Structure 1
């Protein structure tokens, strides 16, 4: 397989061309022939023009890539090594939504041939690749694992917005349905990963390793959020506490904040789901999720209290929220907890304006039913800096005071500024 791929006698297909799939596809396409498949024809049309809809990659990243972008599933029949990088979201009840994964598996199954390989990168619960995806591959292809084709799992480790640690600079975990599969998959990925390959002993170990990466981060941030709530009630500056604690070598540098996005805010629900299927109700993971999901309501309540202390009727106030993406310097708005914060503010009849230099107004309107404004106006009763975009980091006191009315309030959710009441505004941070 590897020799045929290198000699371009066989092709790699990457299914799903979002934040994860596109960098993987382009990396492979610098050494192999690649089919980049996405079900969204508009996205494919933009990729054919070397235009990344996610705004993560420049047009230069497409140069020299031996890749065919397509929304036609019949093109997948030309491939022999399939990589699945589709989203794995949850539904309104926080239950894993496997529809994208199942649809991708069916499309691959229709194109699968003897000798082919299928590798999943999408974050799932342990057992999903073999228990949920494999039956679809076999049913749609009429082929059998081991006898006819090989299966693997290699969890994605791309960090959107991170320009220092890119795909090739992060050690890649791989696994296979048997030793031969694992070795071949390791060799294929080893062609594009400079940081090296770690071979997990089984597909389930690789699946579990990925999901706990984000569970661990979720729990650590939830602790910081809970500490921020406690210290706020005590009148203690949380950021100063964290700086003092960080003087010890083994203190972990996590900070409080809104936990959104497709990884930390979603992946724990996959492990929760599997655990409940097995009859165990996790206590620690559940607790962390409750704390982090409650933060938008906590922040909204805090602002309302500050408004009332200044004899301002929330229903007659105007608030500016700066930043809507789930993290700084990216366009990704998936599972944005800032959107939840905006809705919480609207529950108090507050007039909310939202700005963000990265987010797409059309995507925000489609996903959340919210409107972005191009530039802030004035006469705001409060400003909430919700995302740490670079464009916001150097703003000064004069900028914020010019936006607001008397008794101005600034909520700094990312700890970007160090202000005090002596600066002529009421400043609060997590």
Structure 2
């Protein structure tokens, strides 16, 4: 009997290692079909899941409450599983080089608890070669077992889009790969249990690894192009959104928009690809140029704020600036690698300490990560400048009357609105007489 059949018959278990924005939805999905152990080192997070609370908002509290996932922070429980899925983050260091410590740590933990006949599948984003050259040796060392003989390994890059309730896990084609044809077939069958869109069998683990970093690098480059256009259009005094709306009437327009590019995927993955390319003697030109542009957008927005304050006769050091949004994207509580921080950092160079509003972000995490005390939207008064940095649904219905209440008692043409995501009705705002700027 194959491992797949034993999983379906609930004679064996799946273990998901790392229960964040990626791992938790996978664990919940598989638990509807097979027995699942959900493992994470963070005991606080495990206790939240056990209490029926979803801090990621990816599947929601009700799903967590009814899920049959066996949540644990005890690594010994991994001995009960034969199919392991690794979904830990892969961040970058301060010098933009890959930080493989989480995936190395997860490999050590699994290796210590690995048994013969197991399959280990990595979903963490890495550059081509990491699974075979870094992870497998750790698994072998810790377990004393031989890959290919005693256990098998595969790679299936995560494609979850945090905060997206349309393109969910089940509806996104899953790339799968294995160390050999046997493991590829077994891994494919397991994922097909929960992936309604089906799987794509990559020819090798390295191809699957490369596909992940390249698809995000492609998006990064396209957004960088739009950001560069936005900076040029700003000098030309042309509204970027108006240009894009006109351009998008053509059938083959790509539909990208300018903006802040943060998070744990698009803002990170290109550096993984570039790192390995440079190790092999090739210096990236396009990818690094795109990263440089996108990494500089926070400062560009901050400088636009300062310019607008000066043009409206504000004393910059005394200006009250309010930023709406801290997370790295709309309708998502994830604040990791948020480029809104770059705006804040730049403003502080002008002695401006902005107030930050974000109904999606966790106040405790904001304080811990960035030493930021979030404030309520309803409490905002006497502002000189309002910066809409993230397009949360809570900000989408702000009309002139709601916006006006947040400002001080002075003429509308001295009330500065910075609309980074172009979520406001430009004509309505300008009709109201506000001093408006959008990226």
TM-score range, shorter chain: over 0.9
Q: Which runs of 5+ in 2 are unaligned?
A: none
Shift in Å, 1:401: 2.1
Q: Secondary structure, in 3 states, of the residue corresponding to 2:293?
A: helix
Task: Quote the Cα distance in structure 1 between the aligned partners of 2:192 and 2:264.
Answer: 26
Q: Secondary structure, in 3 states, of the residue corresponding to 1:404?
A: coil
Shift in Å, 1:378: 1.4
After TM superposition, the score normalised by the length of structure 1 is 0.98
Of the three residues 90, 98, 104, the one matched with 1:96 is 98
Shift in Å, 1:60: 2.7
1:131-151 Cα shifts (integer Å, max 9, x gaps): 111110011011111111100
CA contact (8 A) 1:30 1:64 kept: no
CA contact (8 A) 2:385 2:415 kept: yes
Task: Quote the Cα distance in structure 2 between the aligned partners of 1:8 and 1:64.
Answer: 19
Q: Does 1:409 align with 2:419?
A: no
* Matching of residues 343-362 of structure 1 within 5 Å: 343-362=345-364
* Matching of residues 77-96 of structure 1 within 5 Å: 77-96=79-98
Shift in Å, 1:247: 1.0
Of the three residues 412, 415, 434, the one matched with 1:425 is 434
Task: Quote the Cα distance in structure 1 between the aligned partners of 2:405 and 2:13.
Answer: 58
Shift in Å, 1:49: 1.5
CA contact (8 A) 1:11 1:34 kept: yes
Task: Quote the Cα distance in structure 1 between the aligned partners of 2:267 and 2:321.
Answer: 26
1:194-253 Cα shifts (integer Å, max 9, x gaps): 111110000000000011111011000000000000011001111111011111100110
Partner residue of 2:193?
Answer: 191
Task: Quickly say closer, same or farther: Cα 1:412–1:56, change in 2 above 3 A.
Answer: same
Shift in Å, 1:63: 5.5
Q: Secondary structure, in 3 states, of the residue corresponding to 1:351?
A: coil
Task: Quote the Cα distance in structure 2 between the aligned partners of 1:57 and 1:194.
Answer: 17
1:77-106 Cα shifts (integer Å, max 9, x gaps): 111110000000011111111111011000
Structure 1 outlier segments of 4+, above 3 Å: 62-66, 419-422
Partner residue of 2:401?
Answer: 398
Shift in Å, 1:310: 2.3
Task: Quote the Cα distance in structure 1 between the aligned partners of 2:418 and 2:121.
Answer: 45
* Matching of residues 229-240 of structure 1 within 5 Å: 229-240=231-242
Task: Quote the Cα distance in structure 2 between the aligned partners of 1:364 and 1:55.
Answer: 16
CA contact (8 A) 1:46 1:53 kept: yes
* Matching of residues 314-325 of structure 1 within 5 Å: 314-325=316-327
Task: Quote the Cα distance in structure 2 between the aligned partners of 1:194 and 1:92.
Answer: 39
Q: CA RMSD in A?
A: 1.1
Shift in Å, 1:64: 5.2
Shift in Å, 1:421: 4.0
Number of equivalences: 430
Partner residue of 2:27?
Answer: 25
Task: Quote the Cα distance in structure 1 between the aligned partners of 2:195 and 2:253.
Answer: 31
* Matching of residues 3-22 of structure 1 within 5 Å: 3-22=5-24
Task: Quote the Cα distance in structure 1 between the aligned partners of 2:165 and 2:304.
Answer: 35
Task: Quote the Cα distance in structure 2 between the aligned partners of 1:162 and 1:382.
Answer: 30
Q: Does 1:58 align with 2:60?
A: yes
CA contact (8 A) 1:317 1:351 kept: no
Shift in Å, 1:399: 1.8
Shift in Å, 1:25: 0.5
Shift in Å, 1:124: 0.7
Q: Which runs of 5+ in 1 are unaligned?
A: none
1:23-56 Cα shifts (integer Å, max 9, x gaps): 1011111111111000000000111112112122
Task: Quickly say closer, same or farther: Cα 1:62–1:404, change in 2 above 3 A.
Answer: closer
Partner residue of 1:127?
Answer: 129
Task: Quote the Cα distance in structure 2 between the aligned partners of 1:378 and 1:367.
Answer: 26
Range that drifts further, 272-281 or 219-228: 272-281
1:51-76 Cα shifts (integer Å, max 9, x gaps): 11212222332365432100001111
Shift in Å, 1:370: 1.5
CA contact (8 A) 1:32 1:66 kept: no
Shift in Å, 1:398: 2.0
Task: Quote the Cα distance in structure 2 between the aligned partners of 1:425 and 1:211.
Answer: 42
Task: Quote the Cα distance in structure 2 between the aligned partners of 1:275 and 1:207.
Answer: 14
Q: Secondary structure, in 3 states, of the residue corresponding to 1:380?
A: coil
Range that drifts further, 366-375 or 278-287: 366-375
CA contact (8 A) 1:410 1:426 kept: yes
Task: Quote the Cα distance in structure 2 between the aligned partners of 1:59 and 1:257.
Answer: 31
Partner residue of 1:42?
Answer: 44
1:245-274 Cα shifts (integer Å, max 9, x gaps): 111100110000000111111111110111
Q: Secondary structure, in 3 states, of the residue corresponding to 1:13?
A: strand
